[in-house]
Amino acid sequence: MIRPRVALACVVAALAGLLAVAFGLGSDRAAVDWSAQRAVVLESDDWGLAGFVPDGGAWEGLERQALAPGRFPDVYWGSTLEDSAQVADLAAVLAGVRGRDGLPAVLQPNYIMGALDLVDGRWRESRLPDLPDRYRRDGLWPAVDAALAAGVWHPEYHGAWHYDPALRRERVATDPLSRQAAERGILLFEGSEGAWELGPWRPLPVLEAELARGIADFRRCFGRPPAAVIAPDYTWDGRIETLWVDHGLRVIQGKREQQHPRRSSGAPGRLLKVLERRWSKLTRPGLTYLERNCRFEPVQAADPAAVTAACVAQIRRAWARGEPAVVETHRVNFVHTDPAVAALGRDQLAGLLAEVAVDGPVFLTDAEVAQLGRRGVSARPLADGRTLLRNAARSRRAVAVSGTAGTGLVMLPAGAVVVLPAGSGEGPASVPAEVDLFD
Ligand SMILES: [Zn+2]
């Protein structure tokens, strides 16, 4: 018979062992030396979002504070959908700086795929590339195509709506001010701050249908599935991560920022979050969690130049710690109803990139960082069917490439950066672009 104290000791020892495994095996082991790589990743949320307002006049005659949407930085009152000029201007800034591999800086715009618009008292739904009439942006998609072709635009997934559509419909039906806002194409409504798209109250089958549809729309818009995702408002739970994995998403951005609305914000809640982060890394080996370790939100600050200087320092500290520098920078920095705000953000970004370029960085996508960390090699799909291969390991690596011309091996010397042409006809140019290096 086991005495109670012995049993308790066994349980404690087992728990301690479990935690040791979680912390030990869960620690990050990269196949590359990230200090030597000096990698910069630019993650930018809210692209494609038809909001907060369609244009600069949207608030005229409306008491926006009384709408009580929740708290956010003031600059967001003028946040709007990007237009062709803003995309082209930002693409030019990115193209103006090169990494040591000769390739330009690449931005990852994380896209919201759908919008609801109240027209003549009825809700109308649109899905990218279609947009509500109030958010019509002539020439937007050709500008995006040009940025894709220039290799400076690498879209990833943000969400279906950026809010719970059922809650928005309900508030607009019951709150007169929310209704007036919706009638003007304003996305905000009473309490919208807490109406999370991935809130724990939302039924899983609904979320799964939204995700499947969002990914299908993404494929149609950009010609490939997304590999990385950031949850709207950083709010999600374990069941959502399972959905993401099931739908082919391999990289989760911003795990450290994850919000658990039903959890205490005190020490126990924080400890639970740390343990859960470790546990997720251990139990979801097919996923890569990429932490945002640099912050670049200059247009929210009284001293934008100080934000830029701080971000440069954060990038260098990330490299010194042996991490890729993952920079968070929202759309509002480059897209605004006040052109001066967007110009300020672009200028600060140009300054940031110029400063960092002195150190000879490489600009990578989330998927490349994930693949390099696992295998030392990576494949990035480029526009027009080409594929960018990298070997950041210390030795030669072989990459299996398969497609219409069959299967073959491409040998990559250490440090190699190679562009495979699109598959077409015969000869070397027929090497297809199907390379999956995640597993
Ligand atoms: Zn967002």
CA 77 to centroid of ligand 1, rounded, Å: 14
CA 329 to centroid of ligand 1, rounded, Å: 11
Phi, psi values for residue 252, rounded to 5°: -110, 125
Q: What pLDDT score does 408 carry?
A: 77
CA 311 to centroid of ligand 1, rounded, Å: 20
The residue ranges of the chain whose pLDDT is under 70 are 1-29, 264, 402-406, 423-439
C-alpha separations of 352 from 44, 192, 295 in Å: 15, 33, 12
pLDDT digits (tens, 9 = 90+) for 47-91: 999 999 999 999 999 999 899 999 999 999 999 999 999 999 999
Q: What pLDDT score does 316 carry?
A: 98
Phi, psi values for residue 333, rounded to 5°: -70, -20
What tokens were used for 92? 């030019």
CA 46 to centroid of ligand 1, rounded, Å: 5
CA 122 to centroid of ligand 1, rounded, Å: 26
Quick one: which of 173, 167, 225 has its CA closest to 192? 167
Between CA 38 and CA 49 the distance in angstroms is: 32
CA angle at residue 211 from 208 to 214, to 5 degrees?
A: 150
Beta carbons of 207 and 240 less than 8 angstroms apart: yes
Q: At what angle do helices 204-222 and 238-246 cross, to 10 degrees?
A: 40
Burial (Cβ within 10 Å: 0-12, 13-18, ≥19) of residue 99? buried
Beta carbons of 434 and 404 less than 8 angstroms apart: no
Between CA 125 and CA 135 the distance in angstroms is: 13
HSE value, Cβ hemisphere, 13 Å, CA-based, for 161: 22
CA 47 to centroid of ligand 1, rounded, Å: 8
Between CA 29 and CA 111 the distance in angstroms is: 30
What tokens were used for 412? 């990559």
Beta carbons of 78 and 338 less than 8 angstroms apart: yes
Q: What pLDDT score does 13 carry?
A: 44
CA 234 to centroid of ligand 1, rounded, Å: 8
Beta carbons of 328 and 254 less than 8 angstroms apart: yes
CA 126 to centroid of ligand 1, rounded, Å: 18
CA 233 to centroid of ligand 1, rounded, Å: 6
CA 67 to centroid of ligand 1, rounded, Å: 20
Between CA 401 and CA 408 the distance in angstroms is: 5
Residue with tokens 């597993």: 439
CA 176 to centroid of ligand 1, rounded, Å: 26
Q: Are strands 288-290 and 417-420 parallel, antiparallel or unpaired?
A: unpaired
Between CA 43 and CA 30 the distance in angstroms is: 21
Beta carbons of 251 and 371 less than 8 angstroms apart: no
Between CA 50 and CA 195 the distance in angstroms is: 16
